[in-house]
Structure 1
Amino acid sequence: MELTRNRGGKISTGRKRVTEVQETLATQGEWVAHVRRIRDAQDQSAFAELFRHFAPRVKAFLIRSGSDAAMAEECAQEVMATLWHKAHLFDPARASVATWVFTIARNKRIDYLRKQRRPEPEDLYWGPEAEPEQADVISLQQETEQLRSALKVLPKAQRELIEKAYFGDLSHREIAAETGLPLGTIKSRIRLALDRLRHAMK
């Protein structure tokens, strides 16, 4: 499997960035549990975590869809309020929490446009990606585990720099400033680490 560094500074598997894969697999269950805690116990800490994660993403989605910042901010607040009050309507068998949240956002935007008597956009930009096929999820899980194992056997000095560069999203210069290592040393270690990872992931 080919490993590259994309524009966002993450390791890419060629289909999805590893960090995105890990987030999809690791946090979907957490978000479902959070919604259930809100539904069953009006858990404010669970809501706060969902709010911190989704509210800025919903706002950005609405701005990309053509909303001004003020409307996007107001709508994002309404979306999260809907999540709080209607958590009992969420069905994890039908959609992920992200899909549910962005569906609410899309509907809120359409309602707003109707109230403003503006033409509804024919092709409204959709927020989250489509849910992956089960076979793809299993394959991505395996690849993620393979990468995790490969990272563990790297020399500590190389592994720490890979984590800072690809998972911490730091530039080489930022790593140099943080660690005090020469820029050439950082580049050399990262290059050696990537060679090891490519070999392990074949």
Structure 2
Amino acid sequence: MAQTQYFSDLIVKVAVDRDKSAFVELFDHFAPRLKGYLMKQGADDAVAEEIAQDVMVTLWRKADLFDPKKSSASTWLFRVARNRRIDRLRRQKTAELDPEEPSLQPAAPADVAVEMDARLREKRVRVALSTLPDDQKQVVEMAFFLGLSHSEIADRTELPLGTVKSRIRLAFGRLRRLIEADEAVDVD
């Protein structure tokens, strides 16, 4: 949740202050993810790259249209990417749109039970994270909220790579035990 707010705040900085460093951070985080998403949707490497670049230009130019109350930064950017891909498909004169194209289909309605399970699981993880020792919590947050590799964490924290890996492994073991114990209490 903190990461979601962080990226929303960066977009607001781009909108209000035209903050280039905030844009660079957003670009570095989202451009490769958007490209990967577009490639999974069937776009080839060059097209995915072009659309991802276009989405990031749109972010720079239209950041003021982003409303953090309506969606997260990632939801907004991925929706723009999806729409750009659909627009591109529609403009192709040589190929006709396939009405069965998965990216053109509406999303299935959310399953309430699945959403409730996900929220409960998220709550359990948040509670379990709060009980970790600070050194373990720090490396887990850097790895999973900031998306840093173990090597990047080692560089930023000036810790040996083995220490970073050990702390993450210990944290996961502790989290697993706490979450499983919490689930066992719910079952009883």
| 1:42 aligned residue | 18
User: Is the contact between residue 129 and residue 175 of structure 2 (CA under 8 Å) also seen in structure 1?
Assistant: no
User: What percentage of aligned pairs have identical amino acids?
Assistant: 36
Q: Give the whole-Å Cα distance in 1 for the aligned partners of 2:51 and 2:35.
A: 8
User: Is the contact between residue 151 and residue 197 of structure 1 (CA under 8 Å) also seen in structure 2?
Assistant: no
Kindly provide the amino acid, as one letter, of the partner of residue 148 in structure 1: L
User: Is the contact between residue 28 and residue 96 of structure 1 (CA under 8 Å) also seen in structure 2?
Assistant: yes
- Give aligned pairs, total: 157
Please tell me whether residue 51 in structure 1 is matched to residue 38 in structure 2: no
Greater Cα shift, 142-151 or 42-51 = 142-151
What is the TM-score with the length of structure 2 in the denominator?
0.64
Q: Give the whole-Å Cα distance in 2 for the aligned partners of 1:196 and 1:68.
A: 43
Q: Give the whole-Å Cα distance in 2 for the aligned partners of 1:97 and 1:106.
A: 14
Q: Give the whole-Å Cα distance in 2 for the aligned partners of 1:49 and 1:123.
A: 31
Q: Give the whole-Å Cα distance in 1 for the aligned partners of 2:25 and 2:44.
A: 25
Distance 1:89 1:26, change over 3 A: same
| 1:78 aligned residue | 54
Task: Choose the corresponding residue for 2:103, options 118, 124, 144.
Answer: 124
Distance 1:96 1:137, change over 3 A: farther
What is the TM-score with the length of structure 1 in the denominator?
0.60
Q: Give the whole-Å Cα distance in 2 for the aligned partners of 1:191 and 1:94.
A: 33
| 1:115 aligned residue | 91
Which ranges of structure 1 fall in alignment gaps of 5 or more residues?
A: 1-24, 171-176, 181-188
| 1:97 aligned residue | 73
Question: Post-superposition shift, 1:31?
Answer: 1.4
Question: Post-superposition shift, 1:64?
Answer: 0.7
Q: Give the whole-Å Cα distance in 2 for the aligned partners of 1:52 and 1:113.
A: 26
Q: Give the whole-Å Cα distance in 2 for the aligned partners of 1:79 and 1:53.
A: 13
Q: Give the whole-Å Cα distance in 1 for the aligned partners of 2:90 and 2:36.
A: 21
Distance 1:192 1:61, change over 3 A: closer
Deviations 1:59-105 (A, max 9, x none): 01111111110111111000000011011111222221111111110
Kindly provide the amino acid, as one letter, of the partner of residue 31 in structure 1: F
User: Is the contact between residue 58 and residue 105 of structure 1 (CA under 8 Å) also seen in structure 2?
Assistant: yes
Q: Give the whole-Å Cα distance in 2 for the aligned partners of 1:152 and 1:123.
A: 44
Please tell me whether residue 69 in structure 1 is matched to residue 48 in structure 2: no
Which ranges of structure 2 fall in alignment gaps of 5 or more residues?
A: 151-159, 164-169
Higher RCO, Cα 8 Å, sep 6+: 1
Whichever structure has more helix as a proportion of its residues is: 2
Distance 1:178 1:106, change over 3 A: closer
Measured on the aligned residues, the alpha-carbon RMSD in Å equals 4.1
Question: Post-superposition shift, 1:136?
Answer: 7.0
Kindly provide the amino acid, as one letter, of the partner of residue 64 in structure 2: H
User: Where has structure 1 moved over 4 Å in runs of 4 or more?
Assistant: 130-141, 166-170, 189-196
Kindly provide the amino acid, as one letter, of the partner of residue 53 in structure 1: H
